Structure 1
Amino acid sequence: MTDTEPPGGARPDDGEIAEGWAEPWRPEQVAARLAGLEAPWCVAAGWALDLFLGREGRPHGDLEIAVPAAAFEEVRGRFPELEFDAVGSGTVWPAAGPAALAATHQTWAREPASGRWRFDVFREPHDGATWICRRDRSLRLPYAEVVERTAAGIPYLRPELVLLFKAKATRPKDRADFDRVLPHLSPDRRRALAGWLARVHPGHPWLERAAG
């Protein structure tokens, strides 16, 4: 990402964003289109937690997937009917070019005919087959330890890492996700989450419960 904001962006209000995300796709729809992709993509955020638990725990206003940044063009090529808008700090760059992509890590896939966003792509830092946490670049893991799969083969970000990302904002839905997922984490998973929280968010209110 760059430190300067490129020209051509727009700042939609909350109503426009809600309208644009009125009909997000589901994980199985994206998974079907990305079948056979060699890059280690995965469903992220709240949907990833539901895939881990094996059930839908709450409504989802969007669908987020994570891909290695170098694989984004390959992913985009699987959806030739969609435009990909770069997003960052409340600004949206429609049909993003190289400058907007370099300035952001988030990309909303938009259906031009309806104007609706169908899913969100996080373009993640990596070093070959090693995932790099964008919140703390010293946190690095092999993709084999980052991506898990459902019985149907849908890849998702391991729940401890999903909760680590949710710990930054701790919105009501993030706290609810933590509360519903924590009891289902094994002791090893809890220890991993506690260690990462202590590293990335020292003193975080979730730390004591994760370590307990």
Structure 2
Amino acid sequence: MSTPLPAGGREVTPDDAAALESRWAACWEPAELRRRLAGISTPWYTAGGWALDLFRGEQTREHHDIEIGVPARRFPEIRERLAGFVFDAVGDCHIWETPTPQVMGATWQTWLREPATGHYLLEVFREPHDGDVWICRRDETIRFPYAEIIRYTVDRIPYLTPELVLLFKAKHVRPEDQRDFEGVLPLLTRPRREALSRLLNRVHPGHEWLAALPE
């Protein structure tokens, strides 16, 4: 049985999709995130397609948004650092503007909104964790210390290690996810390919990408 959604959320219908996407037109880029979050004690990492481009050392495609992951219980430090903006909670095709603690506890996605323009600038994933140990929200038996899964570019922008980014992309395999996989695969060391294979076998057994990975 699914958990009922908290009250007060606005349903996002298919007709809203284009309007919402246009509100991401001014979203930040990784260098801007590094500047705004410099010096915080909370571990954070760039996620999604931007993380793979940071791994590759260049931007290879357009990104309609930007995502970071943070430990859920340490999200208040992120919110305090970005106090001039508003965080909306998102979950199951609903949006809660200025959400209550109950809503925040029932969701894990948050969109940073610029009040003056209504533009969305950043998506924050409030991820499960046990202290300094990251927990995969798709399978809570997958756990790693943050120090093992956060990598850095030469100019110190943190990003999630590529095998974990691809694990999350494997769920839906949109066209951009397939292109990301094909572009990153040749750059992965054999240990990283083996790690991705193990992760996919655990979370998505029989996944189509496994054919290109070591057994």
1:120-165 deviations in Å (ceiling 9; x for gaps): 0000000001000000000001111110000000100000000000
Q: 2:209 aligns with which of 180, 192, 206?
A: 206
Cα distance between partner residues in 1 of 2:66 and 2:119: 13
1:31-85 deviations in Å (ceiling 9; x for gaps): 1111111111000000000000000010000000000001101001111111000
Matched positions, count: 211
Cα distance between partner residues in 2 of 1:42 and 1:140: 16
1:103-124 deviations in Å (ceiling 9; x for gaps): 1100000001000000000000
SS of the equivalent of 1:188 reads: helix
**Superposition CA RMSD, Å:** 1.1
The aligned runs of 1:17-32 (5 Å cut-off) are 17-32=20-35
2:8 partner amino acid: G
The aligned runs of 1:4-15 (5 Å cut-off) are 4-12=4-12, 13-15=16-18
Q: List gaps (5 residues or longer) in structure 2.
A: none
1:101 partner amino acid: M
SS of the equivalent of 2:10 reads: coil
TM-score (norm 2): 0.96
Please name the residue that 1:151 is paired with.
Answer: 154
Q: CA deviation at 1:181?
A: 0.4
Query: Which segment drifts farther, 67-76 or 30-39?
Result: 30-39
Please name the residue that 1:63 is paired with.
Answer: 66
Cα distance between partner residues in 1 of 2:31 and 2:102: 31
SS of the equivalent of 1:198 reads: helix
SS of the equivalent of 1:134 reads: coil
Q: CA deviation at 1:210?
A: 2.1
SS of the equivalent of 2:39 reads: coil
Please name the residue that 1:81 is paired with.
Answer: 84
Q: CA deviation at 1:11?
A: 2.5
Query: Which segment drifts farther, 32-41 or 146-155?
Result: 32-41
Q: 1:138 aligns with which of 141, 144, 152?
A: 141
Please name the residue that 1:175 is paired with.
Answer: 178
Cα distance between partner residues in 2 of 1:138 and 1:174: 24
Confirm or deny: 8 A CA contact 1:4 1:103 kept in the other structure. no
1:178-209 deviations in Å (ceiling 9; x for gaps): 01000100001100000100011000000121
2:207 partner amino acid: H
Q: 2:36 aligns with which of 33, 48, 67?
A: 33
Regions of 4+ moved over 2 Å: none
TM-score (norm 1): 0.97
Q: List gaps (5 residues or longer) in structure 1.
A: none
